[in-house]
Amino acid sequence: MDFTKTVMGLELGSTRIKAVLVDEHHVPVASGSYDWENRLENGVWTYSLSDIHTGVQACFAALQADVQEKYHEPLTNVGAMGVSAMMHGYMPFDENWQLLTPFRTWRNTMTGQAAAELTDLFHFNIPQRWSIAHLYQAVLNGEDHLPNLRHLTTLAGYIHYRLTGRHVLGVGEAAGMFPIENGQPAYNEAMLQACEEKLAEKGYPWTLRQVLPAVLPAGGDAGVLTEAGAKFLDPSGRLQAGCPVAPAEGDAGTGMVATNSVRAYTGNVSAGTSDFAMVVVDRPLGVHREIDMVATPTGLPVAMVHCNNCTSDINAWASLFGEMAAMLGVTIKRGPLLDKLFAVAMDGAPDGGGLMAFNYFSGEGVTDLDAGRPVFARTPDAPFTLADFMRTHLLSALATLKIGLDILTGEEQVEIRRLCGHGGFFKAPKVGQTLLSAAVNAPVTVMETAGEGGPYGMALLAGYRIWKEEGESLEDYLDKKVFHNATCTTLMAPPEEVAGFTAFLERYKKALPMEKAAIETI
Q: Provide the pLDDT for residue 458.
A: 97
List the domains of the chain with CATH numbers. Answer: 312-449+492-521 (3.30.420.40)
Positive or negative torsion for Cα 437, 438, 442, 443: positive
Q: What's the pLDDT tens digit per position in 350-365?
A: 999 999 999 999 999 8
| Residues 522, 519: Cα–Cα separation, whole Å | 6
Q: What's the pLDDT tens digit per position in 318-338?
A: 999 999 999 999 999 999 999
Share of the chain above pLDDT 90, in %: 83
| Residues 174, 152: Cα–Cα separation, whole Å | 11
Mean pLDDT (whole number) for 364-381 = 93
Q: Provide the pLDDT for residue 427.
A: 87
485: closest CA among 457, 453, 448, 452?
Answer: 448
| Cβ pair 72, 30 in contact under 8 A | no
| Residues 164, 156: Cα–Cα separation, whole Å | 12
Q: Which of 316-320, 421-425, 457-461, 498-502 shows the lowest mean pLDDT across its residues? A: 421-425
pTM, 2 dp: 0.83
| Residues 304, 274: Cα–Cα separation, whole Å | 13
Kind plus residue range of the DSSP H or E element containing 281: none
Q: What's the pLDDT tens digit per position in 49-82?
A: 999 999 999 999 999 999 999 999 999 999 999 9
Q: Provide the pLDDT for residue 449.
A: 61
Q: Is 120 exposed, middle or buried (0-12, 13-18, 19+ CB in 10 A)?
A: exposed
Could you tell me the pLDDT band of residue 257, with boundaries at 50, 70 and 90?
very high
